Amino acid sequence: MSLTAKDVAEIMRLLEDSTFDSLSLEVDGMKLNLQRKSAKPASQASQDALAPPPKPAPGPQRPAHKNSAPSEPGLFEVPAPLLGVFYRAPKPGEPPFVEVGSKVAEDTVIGIIEVMKLMNSVSAGVKGEVVQMVADNGAAVEYGEVLLRIRPEP
């Protein structure tokens, strides 16, 4: 598999839509390193990682992101296993894999994430009932971002 100019453009778009400052990728011996203009050099970033995190400023905070804490304790959050575009259905116009109220098993496919034209299935990971869809269909998602929440069965 080799990267085309269109693939690189898509990777650049995904990086711009994410909160990441840089990306390193190696495919069949080809290395691609992307870094935002505002990103700090790696040596400065590693020094910053050793420093304690800054204290939040007093006063109003930004509104909670839809990926904020679940409204109900004990819900299982299905995370995005990789960065890409999340789709709730196998193809445009087809019904979604799951909806709120759907019963799922550990291996139930709840969506797919497209990365460089490759479709990657995402499984529920737990048996239970879907209670909240968090990620929108066609949204760019980051690694670890919550896709949906499930109430696990006892």
Structural domains of the chain, with CATH: 5-50 (no CATH), 76-152 (2.40.50.100)
* Residue 150, pLDDT score: 95
pLDDT at 50 over 70: no
Which one, of 61, 70, 79, 96, lies nearest residue 147 by Cα? 79
pLDDT at 41 over 70: no
* CA terminus-to-terminus distance, the chain: 44
* Residue 20, pLDDT score: 74
Which one, of 6, 4, 17, lies nearest residue 86 by Cα? 17
* Residue 101, pLDDT score: 95
**How far apart are alpha carbons 95 and 39 in whole angstroms?**
40
* Residue 71, pLDDT score: 66
Q: Is 150 exposed, middle or buried (0-12, 13-18, 19+ CB in 10 A)?
A: buried
pLDDT in tens, 80-108: 999 999 999 999 899 999 999 999 999 99
